[in-house]
Structure 1
Amino acid sequence: MAKQITHDLTYDAPASAVYAMLTDAAFREEVCDRSGVLRHDVTVSGGDLTNSATVRIQQWQSATGIPSFAKKLVGEEIEIIQEETWTSPTECDVKVTIPGKPGEMSGSVRLVEEAGATTEHIEMTITVRLPLVSGKVESLIADMLKKSLRVENTVGREYLAR
């Protein structure tokens, strides 16, 4: 089984500005800092409006506060690698892995501009390959993803208002 997540983030800015933000390493680092990750490494290549871009975010999060059944699986820290391949300034493929763990997320991001505002439409599939607890772990990851997206949206709105 897998869990499907669809989530929209809105910004009062054109799609070109949102794309520039999402492919700015400083923005991604600020999101990591505000999300409370223990440490992170962000790399971006490409990113101007005529080319594709790749974004790679490697981060380590504390396992503090997650249920004990999940903490037994991941230990004290959770390493997460997010890789985005922007095939255009409005389309992106996303893959998130947890090295050495039996789970991943994959999906897409699409930027849709209407009347000067942009919606970042995110569709992700969460897959965990663990007998008996995969559904619980997928739901836990979905909740963590939604929390992370709320932080990204807050930081993004502030970034675009500067």
Structure 2
Amino acid sequence: MKFDETHQLNKPAASVLKMYSDRGYFERKYQTLDGVKDFEVLECELKGDSFRIRHRSQQRSDIPMPDFAKKILGEYNTVIQQDTWNLKTGVGRLEIELKGVPLKISADMKVGGSPNASNTFSWNVSCSIPLLGGKLEKLIADDIRAKSAADMVLSNKLLADY
């Protein structure tokens, strides 16, 4: 399932990319977001114009789950996420793994704009479970959309420091 989301941000692209390439931003963000616990940075590196961070946390879904989904997804799921950025071009990629769940979740990202930037996410959610895969993809996409607004609000709040 493919869909797009856009975050409107209240500073220029250079400030947004500075924030997106700061380990401290991720630590503050995931320690603040509701439904996230046990956040841990696994890897983080900044080399020239390239930034990459890989982290793990326990995350709760923000939408009601039908019984079939509750059997696949627990109340909290172990999420391993990697964000990579080319800071020169403002192009990034987000890859998410839910441990023990046959889902592939990714988003291509593009930051641009002045005086206020936006981050456009082109999401792709796919599930290999026969018959139920499409329904689970839709539920995960709905959960991403439900979390998106809170993520944008918090990112704008944290952006004040950059």
TM-score relative to the length of structure 2: 0.86
Q: How does 1:125-136 map onto structure 2 within 5 Å?
A: 125-136=124-135
The 1:36/1:63 distance shift into structure 2, 3 A limit, reads: closer
Give the paired residue count: 157
Q: Any conservation in 2 of the 1:52–1:87 contact (CA below 8 Å)?
A: yes
The residue number in structure 2 matching 1:27 is: 25
C-alpha distance in 2 between matches for 1:63 and 1:4: 19
The alignment-based identity, stated in percent, is 24
SS of equivalent to 2:33: helix
SS of equivalent to 1:75: coil
The residue number in structure 1 matching 2:92 is: 92
Measure how far apart 1:38 and its partner are. Answer: 2.4
SS of equivalent to 1:100: coil
Structure 2 unaligned runs (5+)?
none
Q: Does 1:159 align with 2:124?
A: no
Structure 1 unaligned runs (5+)?
none
After TM superposition, the runs of 4+ consecutive aligned structure 1 residues lying more than 6 A away are none
Measure how far apart 1:126 and its partner are. Answer: 0.2
1:105-153 deviation line (CA, Å, top 9, x unaligned): 1231100113x11010110100011111112111111111122222221
Q: Any conservation in 1 of the 2:25–2:158 contact (CA below 8 Å)?
A: yes
Q: How does 1:83-122 map onto structure 2 within 5 Å?
A: 83-89=82-88, 90-114=90-114, 116-122=115-121
The residue number in structure 2 matching 1:147 is: 146
Q: How does 1:31-42 map onto structure 2 within 5 Å?
A: 31-32=29-30, 33-42=32-41
The residue number in structure 1 matching 2:76 is: 77
The residue number in structure 2 matching 1:68 is: 67
C-alpha distance in 2 between matches for 1:37 and 1:4: 25
Q: Any conservation in 2 of the 1:84–1:92 contact (CA below 8 Å)?
A: yes
TM-score relative to the length of structure 1: 0.86
Measure how far apart 1:63 and its partner are. Answer: 5.8
C-alpha distance in 2 between matches for 1:66 and 1:10: 29
